[in-house]
């Protein structure tokens, strides 16, 4: 029955759509000279549209036959959107007459049916942008649409079933600048298939089945996307021509070797991530390569052999998710402009940069999730690095001044390693690195006096102690020390961070007693103390500025009155679930929650018990009266208070009565 009710109006509207004369039909929207008739179950354009319209959107309708008639003879439009119809026939020569039509979207139709008839659609007189994606077209079928398209610049053939780009495919469309063939099944590109396209600058061949390109020769191309193919080789032909290529995406392929790029290139962006690179072979020492590079850059001499790749403009290099075991520093000789280097998720065990001039401009280095045991950086190397990702490695020892030497380091991730922190603090004399503190464990690394470090992630490092003043002179805003179970902090551990620290994470540390005074950290706003063994909160000496506090999963029975008081003013969010709270000794806290002074996102899981061994109840259900029933001392106090106040009341009443009688008597005399 319900289905029938649903179907019935639908049925009516379909009947209406097919029987009523067209001009009464649609509720198209007309905005100036643009007409929007999307999703109206139309079989053609409405006849009553204003003359001289520029844009007609007939997408998501039921057009099948594309003729002058179905377009209601609006042949002077500039832009026609017909995507998501059922078009399987196009009147040949239709677009020849449409001499203003620049943008034509025919995506998501059934043009493969039309192509079977082997008829050309004729001249695309003015069309500059054509979308034929998702039409079930396979190899050769495109010819019937592209044969005469002299002004066509943008072409999308995405999501069809094309297996081969033939030499003749684009012969009729010599003005093409951008071609997108994403998501086809291209296995073969015939020699010279793009040679007839002198203006081609962007080619998207991503998500196809191409296995190799051995003679790349499209000098004028600026962007090439070969991501998600089955590429095993990418090679440029031996040539001294200058290639305009700026961006090359080779990610998600099967390449065992670094691509052989044009000798003279302008490449800025190179993505070779998710391939099968095992190593990078570089011939020559750093000195030789640097000399060679400098002379080449100076003289622009063409005598470069293909083995020495010069990438003078490369800014972004992604080699993540490969199987590289090492990466020789000489590899970077020819990348003087590099800014972002991503080699995460490989198997690199040692990363060494000892020459100042290598990676001089790099701002971001991602070495995360390798098997790094050593990181060797020369004294004045990587001077521009701002973000360094070293998490998920096997670093146990580091030169203890490693990070101090990076003057621009702002963001450092070293979680999931086995680092030890040096004791070095305030009292150390200059220059710091000459006299290592006696107590320092060998191979420890220092985190004090890193002039620009704001974000430091040290979780999961098996840290056992955090000595006093470890972060002295390092302006940390965020510090993550989570997942270092058993970490012992000293009262002065964080004292260097008094004015800078905003975020502090101490999750999962098995801390039973936090002896650091967090209220002395005057900028602190976000604190995570969840999953520890805290039985009490640290003393808050003064008003805190904490806005968000996570106390989930601890052993808290009471929140002291002074703590609640210190927090109350600034606190906005409090996580409190999974603690063995006592219902009746937290009335102050309860009050704070109940009058919504603070948001408790996990309130559902905040429970408390009235007495030992009693069932936990949700804290929101607790009332003061119930506490009296459970708290005998409370009751006796209250009973005494009630009795005393009762007595006082009675006494007061008696006195009053006595007085008023007196007054009444006076009044009656007066009256
Ligand atoms: C489409 O239109 C043409 C010409 O008007 C006509 O011959 C053909 O039968 C039509 N096809 C369909 C499927 O309506
Ligand atoms: C071609 O595509 C680019 C990028 O989407 C766009 O900026 C340009 O305007 C398009 N050209 C035409 C004629 O549609
Ligand atoms: C290449 O194409 C893929 C789609 O398969 C896309 O995700 C990626 O962003 C493109 N690469 C570039 C550099 O635009
Ligand atoms: C490096 O690549 C990995 C994997 O693609 C990505 O998750 C990570 O965000 C990249 N690193 C940077 C700093 O962009
Ligand atoms: C956590 O601390 C308790 C003592 O407070 C100790 O018995 C236990 O072994 C510690 N657990 C870990 C994983 O360090």
Question: Which atom number of ligand 4 is nearest to the Cα of residue 273?
Answer: 5
Neighbouring residues of 515: CB distance < 8 A, sequence distance ≥ 6: 489, 490, 491, 538
Residue 654's alpha-carbon distances to 123, 172, 648, 665, in angstroms, are: 112, 113, 10, 17
Beta pairing, strands 29-31 & 34-36: antiparallel
Q: With 80 as the cut, is the pLDDT of residue 662 above it? A: no
Give the ligand with the smallest distance to the CA of 130. Answer: 2
What does the pLDDT read at residue 442?
79
- More confidently predicted of 560 and 100: 100
What does the pLDDT read at residue 180?
98
Burial label, 192 (beta-carbon count in 10 A; 0-12, 13-18, 19+):
exposed
What does the pLDDT read at residue 663?
52
User: Does residue 485 line the site of ligand 5, with CB under 6 A?
Assistant: yes
Q: Which two tokens stand for residue 58?
A: 């007939």
- Contact in structure between 274 and 252 (CB atoms under 8 Å): yes
The C-alpha atoms of residue 624 and residue 183 are separated, in whole angstroms, by 66
Q: Which two tokens stand for residue 506?
A: 């101490």
Ligand 5 center to residue 509 CA distance, Å?
A: 9
Ligand 5 center to residue 462 CA distance, Å?
A: 14
- List ligand 1's pocket residues with C-beta within 6 A: 64-65, 67, 89
Burial label, 499 (beta-carbon count in 10 A; 0-12, 13-18, 19+):
exposed
The C-alpha atoms of residue 422 and residue 221 are separated, in whole angstroms, by 53
Tens-digit pLDDT profile for residues 432-483? 444 455 667 778 999 999 999 999 999 999 999 898 889 999 999 999 999 9
Protein residue whose Cα sits closest to atom 5 of ligand 1: 67
Which mutation among 222, 224, 225, 273 tests ligand 3's pocket best, with the greatest number of atoms within 8 A of CB? 225
The C-alpha atoms of residue 389 and residue 406 are separated, in whole angstroms, by 14
Protein residue whose Cα sits closest to atom 1 of ligand 4: 342
Q: With 70 as the cut, is the pLDDT of residue 323 above it? A: yes
For all residues of the chain together, what is the average pLDDT? Answer: 86
Ligand 5 center to residue 524 CA distance, Å?
A: 28
What does the pLDDT read at residue 16?
38
Q: What is the pTM of this model?
A: 0.84
CATH class belonging to 534-638: alpha beta
- Contact in structure between 130 and 155 (CB atoms under 8 Å): yes
The C-alpha atoms of residue 75 and residue 82 are separated, in whole angstroms, by 14
- More confidently predicted of 107 and 655: 107
- List ligand 2's pocket residues with C-beta within 6 A: 103, 128-129, 153-154, 178
Ligand 4 center to residue 46 CA distance, Å?
A: 51
Stretch 152-167: mean pLDDT, rounded?
97
Residue 513's alpha-carbon distances to 347, 435, 558, in angstroms, are: 40, 33, 14
Question: Which atom number of ligand 5 is nearest to the Cα of residue 510?
Answer: 1
- Residue 270 CB neighbour total at 10 angstroms: 26
- Contact in structure between 137 and 116 (CB atoms under 8 Å): no
The C-alpha atoms of residue 339 and residue 317 are separated, in whole angstroms, by 8
Task: Name the percent of the chain lying above pLDDT 90.
Answer: 62
The C-alpha atoms of residue 142 and residue 596 are separated, in whole angstroms, by 65
Ligand 3 center to residue 469 CA distance, Å?
A: 47
Give the ligand with the smallest distance to the CA of 390. Answer: 4
pLDDT-wise least confident of 54-58, 369-373, 467-471, 483-487: 467-471
Stretch 190-209: mean pLDDT, rounded?
96
Give the ligand with the smallest distance to the CA of 368. Answer: 4
In three state form, how does the secondary structure of 23-67 look? HHCCCCEEECCEEECCCCCCCCCCCCCCCCCCEEECCCCCCCEEC
- Contact in structure between 249 and 226 (CB atoms under 8 Å): yes
Ligand 4 center to residue 403 CA distance, Å?
A: 21
- More confidently predicted of 286 and 389: 389
- Contact in structure between 275 and 250 (CB atoms under 8 Å): yes
Q: With 50 as the cut, is the pLDDT of residue 521 above it? A: yes
Q: Which two tokens stand for residue 441?
A: 């464990």
Stretch 276-291: mean pLDDT, rounded?
83
The percent of the chain in helix, strand and coil, each rounded to the nearest 5, is: 20, 15, 65
Stretch 279-308: mean pLDDT, rounded?
70
Ligand 3 center to residue 204 CA distance, Å?
A: 8
Banded pLDDT at 307 (limits 50, 70, 90): low
- Which of 499, 502, 503 lies closest to 520, judged by CA? 499
Ligand 5 center to residue 13 CA distance, Å?
A: 71
> Considering the domain 210-291+306-369 in this protein, what is its CATH number?
3.80.10.10
Question: Which atom number of ligand 5 is nearest to the Cα of residue 485?
Answer: 14
Q: With 60 as the cut, is the pLDDT of residue 19 above it? A: no
- List ligand 3's pocket residues with C-beta within 6 A: 182, 206-207, 225, 227-228, 247, 249
Stretch 268-288: mean pLDDT, rounded?
89
What does the pLDDT read at residue 120?
93
Ligand 1 center to residue 65 CA distance, Å?
A: 6
The partner residues of 366 in beta bridges, in order of sequence, read 342, 389
In three state form, how does the secondary structure of 152-217 look? CCEEECCCCECCEECCCCCCCCCCCCEEECCCCCCCEECCCCCCCCCCCCEEECCCCCCCEEEEEC
Protein residue whose Cα sits closest to atom 6 of ligand 2: 154
What does the pLDDT read at residue 426?
44
- Contact in structure between 128 and 103 (CB atoms under 8 Å): yes
What does the pLDDT read at residue 293?
76
pLDDT-wise least confident of 3-17, 100-114, 520-534, 642-656: 3-17
Banded pLDDT at 586 (limits 50, 70, 90): confident
Question: Which atom number of ligand 2 is nearest to the Cα of residue 102?
Answer: 13
Task: Name the percent of the chain lying above pLDDT 70.
Answer: 86
Beta pairing, strands 129-131 & 103-105: parallel
The C-alpha atoms of residue 73 and residue 173 are separated, in whole angstroms, by 27
Banded pLDDT at 655 (limits 50, 70, 90): low
The C-alpha atoms of residue 409 and residue 397 are separated, in whole angstroms, by 20
Give the ligand with the smallest distance to the CA of 268. Answer: 3
In three state form, how does the secondary structure of 252-319 look? CCCCCCCCECCCECCCCEEECCCCCCCCCCCCCCHHHHHHHHHHHHHHCCCCCCCCCCCCCCCCEEEC
What does the pLDDT read at residue 671?
29
Question: Which atom number of ligand 1 is nearest to the Cα of residue 88?
Answer: 13
Ligand 4 center to residue 345 CA distance, Å?
A: 9
Question: Which atom number of ligand 3 is nearest to the Cα of residue 207?
Answer: 5
The single-letter DSSP state of residue 109 is S
Stretch 392-420: mean pLDDT, rounded?
95
What does the pLDDT read at residue 543?
75
What does the pLDDT read at residue 183?
98
- Contact in structure between 154 and 175 (CB atoms under 8 Å): no
Banded pLDDT at 660 (limits 50, 70, 90): low
Stretch 163-167: mean pLDDT, rounded?
95
- Contact in structure between 130 and 111 (CB atoms under 8 Å): no
Tell me the DSSP string of 457-513: E--SS---EE-TTTTTT---SEEE--S-TTPEEPTTTTGGGTTT--EEE-TT---S-
Protein residue whose Cα sits closest to atom 5 of ligand 3: 206
- Contact in structure between 343 and 321 (CB atoms under 8 Å): no
The single-letter DSSP state of residue 243 is P
Stretch 313-333: mean pLDDT, rounded?
95
Stretch 262-286: mean pLDDT, rounded?
91
pLDDT-wise least confident of 14-18, 332-336, 401-405, 578-582: 14-18
Ligand 1 center to residue 111 CA distance, Å?
A: 14
Ligand 4 center to residue 78 CA distance, Å?
A: 43
Tens-digit pLDDT profile for residues 604-622? 999 988 887 788 888 888 8
Handedness of CA 429, 432, 438, 441 (dihedral sign): positive
Give the ligand with the smallest distance to the CA of 343. Answer: 4
Banded pLDDT at 131 (limits 50, 70, 90): very high
Q: Which two tokens stand for residue 287?
A: 């000195």
What does the pLDDT read at residue 289?
78
- Contact in structure between 436 and 410 (CB atoms under 8 Å): no
What does the pLDDT read at residue 424?
63
The partner residues of 608 in beta bridges, in order of sequence, read 581, 617
What does the pLDDT read at residue 258?
94
Neighbouring residues of 477: CB distance < 8 A, sequence distance ≥ 6: 454, 455, 500, 501, 502, 503, 523
Cα 14 off chain centre by: 45
In this structure, which topology does domain 28-176 adopt according to CATH?
Answer: 3.80.10
- Contact in structure between 368 and 395 (CB atoms under 8 Å): no
- Contact in structure between 585 and 563 (CB atoms under 8 Å): no
Protein residue whose Cα sits closest to atom 3 of ligand 5: 510
Query: Whose structure tokens read 């922190």?
Result: 421
Question: Which atom number of ligand 4 is nearest to the Cα of residue 364?
Answer: 13
Protein residue whose Cα sits closest to atom 14 of ligand 1: 65
User: Does residue 510 line the site of ligand 5, with CB under 6 A?
Assistant: yes
Q: With 90 as the cut, is the pLDDT of residue 83 above it? A: yes
- Residue 134 CB neighbour total at 10 angstroms: 19
- Residue 285 CB neighbour total at 10 angstroms: 12
Tell me where in the chain the CATH 3.80.10.10 domain(s) lie.
Answer: 28-176, 210-291+306-369, 534-638
The C-alpha atoms of residue 652 and residue 356 are separated, in whole angstroms, by 91
Neighbouring residues of 570: CB distance < 8 A, sequence distance ≥ 6: 543, 544, 545, 546, 547
Question: Which atom number of ligand 4 is nearest to the Cα of residue 387?
Answer: 13
What does the pLDDT read at residue 568?
81
- List ligand 4's pocket residues with C-beta within 6 A: 273, 320, 342, 344, 364, 366, 389
Handedness of CA 195, 197, 201, 204 (dihedral sign): negative
Q: With 70 as the cut, is the pLDDT of residue 429 above it? A: no
Count CA within 13 A, CB hemisphere, residue 112.
13
What does the pLDDT read at residue 185?
97
């Amino acid at each position: 029955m319900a289905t029938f009710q649903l179907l019935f109006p639908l049925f009516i509207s379909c009947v209406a759509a097919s029987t009523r004369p067209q001009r009464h039909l649609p509720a198209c929207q007309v905005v100036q000279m643009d007409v929007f008739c999307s999703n109206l179950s139309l079989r053609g354009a409405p006849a009553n549209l204003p003359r001289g319209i520029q844009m007609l959107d007939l997408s998501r309708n039921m057009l099948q036959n594309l003729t002058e008639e179905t377009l209601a003879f609006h042949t002077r439009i500039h832009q026609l959107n017909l995507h998501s119809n059922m078009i399987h026939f196009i009147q040949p020569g239709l677009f020849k007459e449409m001499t203003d039509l620049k943008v034509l979207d025919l995506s998501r139709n059934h043009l493969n049916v039309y192509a079977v008839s082997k008829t050309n659609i004729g001249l695309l007189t003015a069309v500059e942008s054509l979308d034929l994606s998702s039409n079930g077209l396979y190899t050769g079928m495109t010819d019937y649409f592209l044969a005469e398209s002299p002004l066509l610049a943008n072409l999308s053939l995405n999501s069809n079933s094309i297996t081969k780009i033939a030499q003749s495919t684009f012969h009729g469309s010599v003005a093409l600048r951008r071609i997108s063939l994403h998501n086809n099944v291209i296995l073969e590109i015939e020699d010279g298939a793009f040679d007839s396209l002198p203006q081609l600058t962007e080619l998207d061949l991503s998500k196809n089945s191409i296995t190799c390109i051995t003679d790349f020769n499209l000098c004028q191309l600026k962007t090439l996307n070969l991501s998600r193919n089955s590429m095993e080789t990418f090679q440029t032909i031996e040539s001294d021509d200058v290639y305009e290529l700026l961006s090359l995406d080779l990610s998600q392929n099967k390449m065992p070797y670094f691509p052989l790029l044009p000798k003279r290139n302008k490449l800025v962006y190179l993505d070779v991530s998710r391939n099968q690179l095992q190593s990078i072979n570089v011939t020559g020492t750093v000195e030789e390569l640097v000399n060679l590079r400098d002379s080449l850059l100076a003289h622009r001499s063409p005598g470069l052999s293909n083995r020495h790749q010069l990438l003078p403009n490369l800014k972004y290099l992604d080699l993540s998710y490969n199987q590289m075991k090492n990466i020789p520093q000489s590899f970077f000789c020819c990348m003087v402009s590099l800014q972002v280097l991503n080699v995460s998720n490989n198997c690199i065990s040692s990363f060494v940069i000892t020459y100042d001039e290598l990676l001089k401009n790099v701002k971001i280095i991602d070495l995360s999730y390798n098997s790094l045991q050593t990181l060797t950086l020369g004294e004045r190397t990587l001077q521009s690095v701002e973000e360094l990702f070293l998490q998920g490695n096997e670093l146990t020892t580091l030169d203890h001044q490693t990070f101090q030497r990076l003057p621009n380091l702002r963001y450092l991730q070293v979680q999931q390693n086995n680092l030890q922190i040096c004791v070095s603090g305030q009292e150390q004399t200059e220059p710091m690195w000459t006299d290592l503190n006696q107590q320092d464990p060998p191979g420890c690394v220092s985190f004090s006096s890193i002039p620009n470090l704001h974000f430091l992630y040290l979780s999961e490092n098996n840290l056992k102690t955090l000595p006093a003043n470890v972060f002295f002179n390092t302006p940390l805003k965020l510090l993550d020390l989570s997942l270092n179970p058993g970490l012992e902090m000293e009262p002065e551990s964080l004292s260097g961070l008094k004015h800078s620290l905003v975020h502090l994470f101490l999750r999962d540390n098995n801390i039973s007693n936090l002896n650091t005074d967090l209220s002395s950290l005057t900028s602190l706003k976000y604190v995570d103390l969840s999953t520890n063994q805290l039985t009490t909160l640290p003393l808050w000496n003064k008003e805190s500025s904490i806005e968000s506090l996570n106390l989930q999963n601890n052993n808290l029975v009471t929140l002291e009155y002074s703590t609640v008081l210190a927090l109350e003013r600034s606190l906005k969010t409090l996580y409190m679930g999974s603690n063995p709270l006592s219902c009746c000794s937290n009335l102050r806290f309860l009050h704070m929650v109940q009058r919504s002074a603070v948001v408790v996102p996990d309130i559902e899981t905040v429970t408390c018990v009235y007495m030992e061994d009693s069932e936990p109840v949700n804290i929101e259900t607790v009332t003061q009266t119930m506490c009296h029933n459970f708290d005998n001392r409370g009751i006796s106090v209250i009973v005494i208070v009630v009795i005393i106040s009762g007595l006082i009341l009675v006494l007061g009443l008696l006195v009053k009565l006595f007085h008023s009688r007196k007054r009444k008597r006076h009044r009656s005399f007066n009256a």
